[in-house]
Structure 1
């Protein structure tokens, strides 16, 4: 029995066998999943290897495609990305390894209130309605050379020796994602006209977040959402989906899907980079839907600058025709705002700017 005021415990091993989902997971009618499969979003595949080769035609083509996508909705695919498929597969196996554990085992890593790392089952400690049908495991990554084993240490100390391999694989995967992110930042710098070094150097020594998402089968998927509509508050998201699919993006006043592609990463602009680009590149509303047959799994690397880094656009992107859109802020302050004061949604950055003006 659940008493009033107590957090709801999301235990998929029990919930998915009940005939109806609890009311906390039922979303309002205007936010429920589409009754018909949505159209596929036209997201350009960017040949990152071609761009990095320096071939003038490949560089020009990649910069043009990414510029068009980021001005419109901020989503694109990266192919020929240089990340070993075997490493991606090992990281996906890690999702099964962790989320198949009993609830009491997973709760050893339980996320503390106000924190952004740890195990969370539907954010049930912070919200009582519109809960997402998912479990997540988030952990900090740092590109600082003094913290090169931060993930391995986190899991060994928190979960014990059985998690040594799990921690090692995730450390290696995040190193690869950090490297990939910096290469994408070269491309974004070229497409915005500030050169390949500016954003790459801004994010060297990044203090980022890695998240494993697990969406169990849901017996009433037409009533629930795996992740509600939101824009990512971080700078850049690099997502690898499994074969199940479920990612949807809101473009031109309707939802579109981005089908899985095992050879590609889905990349999208976050609120912090939208501010860094002075609003030229867009952070777009997206969500995840669930189904009644298969669990869905995804790996999300959220690139973020060092905590105390001032987020301010380069001077080339500010002029009389394009005045400043956002005040200076640190990533640490925006992260704290989303964890303690505001649930990330479609207006996170605007709400944050208003909050900054008041505090």
Structure 2
């Protein structure tokens, strides 16, 4: 099964200096027109090792309420664990096409896991300038190793090591966010599945684009997850929408970028805001990122937490199974 990958399109487009029309965004989306170039407010950066727990909780709550996004430093994941994850991901995307296609998802697959380019319905048939690889990295019963590349040979070890360290970061974030709602530290994690919470890794590969002024790597969206924890490479590309403008998110070496996702907004009944973000591309360099989506199991029912709902503050979101939420979101059906 031959895939029409963006990587292949990029290779054939560079010499001509043009991109196929399906990648050209409308004027209201084109980065050259819509990116703000004046004073750029910075997404909050939070030191996760701060011993002042009340202050740490306050900073995380403020960032999640006002921005829906923040970066964390001193998070405890060793830098070599992160660099190894990036190294094996990069090596996978540099393999010959036929090797990568061994991990392609079949067109009729209901699972999101696998290698490819197509993800969800795009308005007006437009396409995003990105290839990707999806697979679960935690918990063990959710892992399907047929989607884990066997080349490079250290791929599995690097991903398993990262998953091990990431759980501590996730638990700390869920704990602070629960306390910020006046709830017990374990409330939010339990509400999204507890030990069955899924860690879904996506590797985004954005090859050089001859017209980065016209294309987008990923279109404007909020994540379906509860929380997303993302590692970018050093190539600028992540943008956040705030105050009616698109702003670049500054790259910080060894920081993790945290996105509030839809499920956290729903559970908090709107106190925490799912962040609207997108990705631009680069003319000379390949951008890559490694988001991990912390998602409820498909049959987990998610809605505003009862402790946060009353007559003065009625439920602002429907309660539904996560699988139903995903179906509506991917097919652009109102929730």
Match of 1:188 in 2: 177
Q: Tell me the CA shift for residue 122 of structure 1.
A: 4.9
Give the counterpart of 1:299 among 290, 305, 308. Answer: 290
1:22, distance to aligned residue in structure 2 (A): 0.5
Summarize the Cα distance change of 1:109–1:128 in structure 2 as closer, same or farther, 3 Å threshold: farther
Q: How far does residue 45 in structure 1 lie from its aligned partner after superposition?
A: 1.9
State how far apart, in whole Å, the 1-side matches of 2:154 and 2:117 are. Answer: 24
The whole-number CA distance in structure 1 between the counterparts of 2:305 and 2:223 is: 22
| CA–CA distance in structure 1, aligned partners of residues 14 and 117 of structure 2 | 14
Query: How far did 1:291 drift?
Result: 1.3
TM-score (norm. length: structure 1): 0.83
Between the aligned partners of 1:303 and 1:34, the Cα distance in structure 2 is 32
Aligned residue for 1:77, secondary structure, equals strand
Instruction: State the alpha-carbon separation in 2 of the partners of residues 184 and 125 from structure 1.
Output: 31
Deviation digits for residues 94-124 of structure 1, max 9, x if unmatched?
2211111122221221123443111122549
CA distance 1:289–1:325, change in 2 (3 Å): same
What's 1:27 paired with? 25
2:146 is the counterpart of 1:154: yes
Of 75, 81, 84, the match for 1:81: 75
Question: How far did residue 247 of structure 1 move?
Answer: 0.5
Q: Which residue of 2 aligns with 1:279?
A: 270
1:116 aligns with 2:116: no
Among 58, 66, 74, the residue aligned to 1:64:
58
| Equivalent pair of 1:143/1:206 in contact (CA under 8 Å) | yes
Contact (CA 8 Å) 1:41, 1:257: kept in 2 or not?
no
2:227 and 2:135 map into 1 onto residues whose CA distance is: 16
1:170 aligns with 2:159: yes
Any idea what the Cα deviations from partners look like across 1:190-242, whole Å, max 9, x if unmatched?
Answer: 11211312123334321231001111111111010111111111111111111
Identify which of 167, 186, 198 aligns with 2:187.
Answer: 198
Query: Helix, strand or coil: the match of 1:212?
Result: strand
1:9 Cα deviation from its structure 2 partner:
4.5
Compared CA separation, residues 219 and 162, structure 1 to 2 (3 A): closer
Q: 1:330 to 1:292 in 2, by over 3 A?
A: same
Could you tell me whether the CA contact under 8 Å between 2:88 and 2:154 is conserved in 1? no
Give the 3 Å change call, closer, same or farther, for CA 110–223 of structure 1 in structure 2: same
Deviations 1:169-192 (A, max 9, x none): 112212322332121100111112
TM-superposition CA deviations, 1:281-320 (whole Å, max 9, x none):
1112110001111111111000012222211332221111
Structure 1 contact 138–211 (Cα < 8 Å) conserved: yes
C-alpha deviation, 1:41, in angstroms: 3.6
Cα displacement (A) at 1:155: 4.3
> More helix per residue: 1 or 2?
1
Corresponding residue of 2:243 = 252
SS at match of 1:238: strand
Pick from 219, 236, 258 the counterpart of residue 227 of structure 2: 236
Residue pair 2:70, 2:259 contacting (<8 A) in 1 also: yes
TM-score where L is the length of structure 2: 0.89
| CA displacement 1:74-93 (0-9 Å, x = unmatched) | 11111111111101000111
Question: SS of the counterpart of 2:49?
Answer: helix
